[in-house]
Structure 1
Amino acid sequence: MSSHDQPSTSSEFSASVPAAHLESDRNSSDSPWPGWTNFIALWTASGSSYFAYWIMLLALSLLANRLTTSSLLVSGVTFALTVPTFLFGLLAGVLVDRSDRRLFMFGLAFLRLLAFGLAWLAIVCGYFPLFLLYGLAFILGLTQTLEEPALAALVPMVVAPRHLERANGWLVGAQNSIELLALPLGGLLASISTALTMGIGTGCALLTLGALLCLRGTYAPILQERRHLGHELLAGLHFLWQQPLLLAIALMAMVINASWGAYLALLVRYAVAPGPVGLSAANYGFLLMGSSLGGVGSAFLLAPVQRWLGRRWPIGLNILGNGLMFLAPALSTNAWIIGGGAVLGGLTGPLWTIAVAALLGRQVPARLQGRVTAAYRFLSNGMAAIGPLLGGLFAQLYGLRPAFFLCATCTFLMLLPFSWFITEKAMREHPPA
């Protein structure tokens, strides 16, 4: 069942997708706004939120690296960013499927606004301990964890099924373009002024709130029967368990994301002086731009890759690209080689994201979109939250380069389940909703 079909009245939830579209259509006849205005508003809200996330992700890691020389403590920032997905990932889906998804995202943007504003105030007052970074990273990760299933559930309600690849391509393309700007800017801001960094985050939260106010329509599921919270928490996992293809993709993503988290947490120690690469904080931001440079063009490669190689190979190319990206710092201290690996990883990364987002949008019933997306993220990102801590501990014991090599090895091993489960036939089948 597509997200725009009329749901059965006996279902647990009846998503108000048709109502949202009808309201939009009625309003459009009396308004000069085009039909894609709602998607543009959603795209702007997503982009501004993502911009703040990436600025803070880099800036917080650099600031932690300034406060401590311990690889384990520095990796704690990345852990604080990712552990909310493990703690609240499943609950996020239930909340999304019980809430008006636009108002839900509005509340999260307001929470980020408070967090950035209070952090700015604390820094201006000269209070800047390491645990403040952990706290801010946790809130940032929490709001991102709750926002992403809401965004994923909103897209099929705003966009017709035939336009899902195009819409997700715009979203992912914008995200990679934003990374291209946010990464060097985050490094520059961290080297200039911590208070200014928090001010930029506050401004992004305000822009997100404004964009969501422009999103018209009602995006709340119509409650038919409220079931036990525990049952609803497991509903998304139960659906994934019944879909071997989606389950295999989620578990593979868990390993790759754990490796990515460890790589990102440790790279700041490896690349920024006095690390072996010897870069400044600003140049470290430019190094990470390599991933975004690759990602900007990759959003438009999905259709040619699927046409020439098949629907499974966006996932296969992602495994190869990420594995080579993690291998680069294990083999070299040359910034150009590490940056080249980042370009390759960025080039193949969004192929997976777009393909899986479209797959979930088509194969998951509208009433379960929030919970299934959250369950997928719980497995792929939440369970991977341990990656930065394990990577930091491994690097503390054996060194940074062996830790990068371990990340690459774990990623390349995902070619085995890719060969077994991610077949062309499975990617083209549509299970009954």
Structure 2
Amino acid sequence: MDFVSAGEGQVTIDAATCRLASPQQFEMVGVESDPARLMDMAIGRGFNALWSTSALSNLADGLAFVSMPLLAASMTDDPRLVAGLATLYAVIRLVAALPIGVWVDRFDRRTLIVAANILRGGALAGFALTIQFGVSSLIVLYSAMAVVAALESVADSAAIAILPSLVGTQRLESANGRIAATQLIADEFAGPPLGGFLFALAASVPAFAMGGLWALAGVIALALPTRSPSTLSADAHSSRRSVFAEAVDGIAWLRRHHVVGGLAVIGALASIGYMLPFSILVLFARERLGLNGTGYGLLLAFSALGGLLGSMLASRLRARLGSRWTIVASLILGAVALGGLALTQNPIVAGLLLALYILHAVVWNICSLSLRQRLVPDDLLGRVGGATRVLGLSGLAVGSALGGILADFDLRIPIAAGGVLFLACCFVAVIMLRGELDLGIRPTSAPHESGD
């Protein structure tokens, strides 16, 4: 799902980035305001470093997606303990979301990205050594997974918050789209089969590979620009309040801002709608579509192609339709896709509908994330992002539980219910996403300001 700033009325140019507030401001300092040239200038070395870091990190995530459950299954036959890895991962990310958001606003974001990647690389290297020397156990595996989950949250939150300082505000969708496309390729296409292949060589090999990829990502992140002391939180150089008090600032700002708050509400509902069908999709594929395990894997791989298309279309759609109607159109597409999926028994039609569904999800994620990055003040990006993440992760948990309950009656019900929820999201989007959403200058309000 979610990357310091030029102040209003000035242009900041440094060795790593070229940042702009608007073409008019370039004219003020005598820089040519040709739109094509400005777009070329908007993404530079800083973004390339972030993109490379993200690519390596997501490839490691793809390896973990397959190899970690395989490692657990090699240590125990208890399905609850194997499934517990995913539960632990989700719980850690949920519990850590708010305090991590505070740290992202308190400290230099480059330092957080570098440290988080190098530390999880070291943790995985240490875990791989325990496997290599035959002293590993489920406790060690669970501990390594907990460290990875916490540090991944740090790296992801800091990356989302740093992105607006690396690209022009009108290039956020393009930049987020490039990152999303790379994430899909690494997580869905390259990482899982590579993880399975490496595990077949030796159980420790994918763990060593993950550690190396994350460590290299941390080294590359050193090329990111540091955060100017003047842009740090107002509490950074004074007696600091508690983490809880600072987290409340982000929650309060989110609650008062009708657009960003609306995005958070939509995100929570959409997370429920997403997990309703996907929590039971493997059963739907087997019983309604007649697919075996291989067919189910191909179905998911084909649907991921829709996500790649969405990552390429998001910035173009936003430029043509604006953020509000791009979001509304994507949610309508998601509702229609799930409605059609609930009715079909044809695996080819189901594959096409799932591809359209994933296309909608990627377009929605890119547009909503870019809009939040555009509208939230720099010194609140971490905390508002943390509060938004709590709502989204909670929605995933609720959707997963509801999907299993509804599927007891009929496998089509959770899929159809997901479509209905996306229609509700459309209604919320039309009502709450009003006003000027595509401003070229980011706000600089303090935590007590509403941002309306």
Summarize the Cα distance change of 1:80–1:209 in structure 2 as closer, same or farther, 3 Å threshold. same
**Other-structure match for 1:246:** 260
The match for 1:383 among 394, 401, 420 is 394
Summarize the Cα distance change of 1:76–1:117 in structure 2 as closer, same or farther, 3 Å threshold. same
The match for 2:362 among 350, 356, 360 is 350
**Other-structure match for 2:213:** 204
The match for 1:414 among 425, 444, 451 is 425
Matches within 5 A, 1:359-374: 359-374=371-386
Residues 177 and 295 of structure 1 are in contact (CA less than 8 Å); yes or no, is this contact kept in structure 2? no
Equivalent residue of 1:301, what SS? Answer: helix
Offset of residue 276 of structure 1: 5.6
Asked which structure has the greater RCO (Cα within 8 Å, sep 6+), the reply is: 1
Counterparts of 1:127 and 1:329 in 2: how far apart (Å)?
A: 47
Counterparts of 1:131 and 1:398 in 2: how far apart (Å)?
A: 37
Summarize the Cα distance change of 1:203–1:232 in structure 2 as closer, same or farther, 3 Å threshold. same
Measured against aligned partners, the alpha-carbon deviations of 1:303-352 in whole angstroms (never above 9, x if no partner) come to 43234444223222332344455556655565434432331122222222
Measured against aligned partners, the alpha-carbon deviations of 1:138-168 in whole angstroms (never above 9, x if no partner) come to 4443223222220122112222334333322
Summarize the Cα distance change of 1:248–1:85 in structure 2 as closer, same or farther, 3 Å threshold. farther
Aligned residues: CA RMSD: 4.0
Summarize the Cα distance change of 1:357–1:307 in structure 2 as closer, same or farther, 3 Å threshold. same
The match for 2:155 among 125, 139, 147 is 147
Summarize the Cα distance change of 1:327–1:87 in structure 2 as closer, same or farther, 3 Å threshold. farther
Measured against aligned partners, the alpha-carbon deviations of 1:48-100 in whole angstroms (never above 9, x if no partner) come to 11222234235556777897796x87765444333333211111111111112
Q: TM-score scaled by structure 2?
A: 0.75
- Counterpart AA for 1:376: T
Offset of residue 204 of structure 1: 1.9
Counterparts of 1:271 and 1:134 in 2: how far apart (Å)?
A: 31
Counterparts of 1:336 and 1:201 in 2: how far apart (Å)?
A: 35
The match for 2:312 among 285, 292, 300 is 300
Summarize the Cα distance change of 1:345–1:393 in structure 2 as closer, same or farther, 3 Å threshold. closer
Q: Which moved more, 1:110-119 or 1:58-67?
A: 58-67
Q: Which moved more, 1:131-140 or 1:95-104?
A: 131-140
The match for 1:341 among 353, 357, 360 is 353
Matches within 5 A, 1:22-421: 22=14, 24=16, 36-60=44-68, 76-124=84-132, 136-182=144-190, 185=193, 188-189=196-197, 192=200, 194-218=203-227, 221-222=231-232, 223-225=236-238, 226-261=240-275, 263-268=277-282, 277-280=291-294, 284-323=296-335, 326=338, 330-331=342-343, 335-380=347-392, 382-387=393-398, 389-391=400-402, 393-394=404-405, 397-398=408-409, 401-421=412-432
- Counterpart AA for 2:368: V
Counterparts of 1:151 and 1:348 in 2: how far apart (Å)?
A: 23
Q: TM-score scaled by structure 1?
A: 0.78
Residues 102 and 219 of structure 1 are in contact (CA less than 8 Å); yes or no, is this contact kept in structure 2? no
Summarize the Cα distance change of 1:231–1:121 in structure 2 as closer, same or farther, 3 Å threshold. same
Residues 113 and 202 of structure 1 are in contact (CA less than 8 Å); yes or no, is this contact kept in structure 2? yes
Equivalent residue of 2:292, what SS? Answer: coil
Counterparts of 1:422 and 1:243 in 2: how far apart (Å)?
A: 10
Counterparts of 1:432 and 1:90 in 2: how far apart (Å)?
A: 21
- Counterpart AA for 2:214: A
How many residues get paired?
Answer: 409
Measured against aligned partners, the alpha-carbon deviations of 1:24-58 in whole angstroms (never above 9, x if no partner) come to 479xxxxxxx9822221111111211222234235
Summarize the Cα distance change of 1:307–1:150 in structure 2 as closer, same or farther, 3 Å threshold. closer
- Counterpart AA for 2:313: L
Counterparts of 1:64 and 1:400 in 2: how far apart (Å)?
A: 29
Matches within 5 A, 1:11-26: 22=14, 24=16
- Counterpart AA for 1:255: L
Counterparts of 1:78 and 1:396 in 2: how far apart (Å)?
A: 21
Unaligned 5+ residue runs, structure 1?
8-16, 27-33
Equivalent residue of 1:277, what SS? Answer: coil
Residues 154 and 219 of structure 1 are in contact (CA less than 8 Å); yes or no, is this contact kept in structure 2? no
1:4 aligned to 2:6? Answer: yes
1:427 aligned to 2:437? Answer: yes
Residues 250 and 383 of structure 2 are in contact (CA less than 8 Å); yes or no, is this contact kept in structure 1? yes
Q: Which moved more, 1:246-255 or 1:306-315?
A: 306-315
Offset of residue 231 of structure 1: 1.9
Counterparts of 1:308 and 1:156 in 2: how far apart (Å)?
A: 21
Counterparts of 1:57 and 1:104 in 2: how far apart (Å)?
A: 24
Residues 52 and 204 of structure 1 are in contact (CA less than 8 Å); yes or no, is this contact kept in structure 2? yes
Summarize the Cα distance change of 1:98–1:6 in structure 2 as closer, same or farther, 3 Å threshold. farther
Counterparts of 1:401 and 1:133 in 2: how far apart (Å)?
A: 36
Equivalent residue of 1:91, what SS? Answer: helix
- Counterpart AA for 1:252: I
Equivalent residue of 1:155, what SS? Answer: helix
Q: Which moved more, 1:260-269 or 1:223-232?
A: 260-269
Counterparts of 2:278 and 2:78 in 1: how far apart (Å)?
A: 16
Counterparts of 1:58 and 1:391 in 2: how far apart (Å)?
A: 26
Identity %: 23
Residues 290 and 346 of structure 1 are in contact (CA less than 8 Å); yes or no, is this contact kept in structure 2? no
Measured against aligned partners, the alpha-carbon deviations of 1:226-247 in whole angstroms (never above 9, x if no partner) come to 3333221111111111111111
Counterparts of 2:277 and 2:143 in 1: how far apart (Å)?
A: 22
Unaligned 5+ residue runs, structure 2?
19-41, 446-452
Residues 287 and 339 of structure 1 are in contact (CA less than 8 Å); yes or no, is this contact kept in structure 2? yes
Equivalent residue of 2:312, what SS? Answer: coil
Counterparts of 1:65 and 1:278 in 2: how far apart (Å)?
A: 21
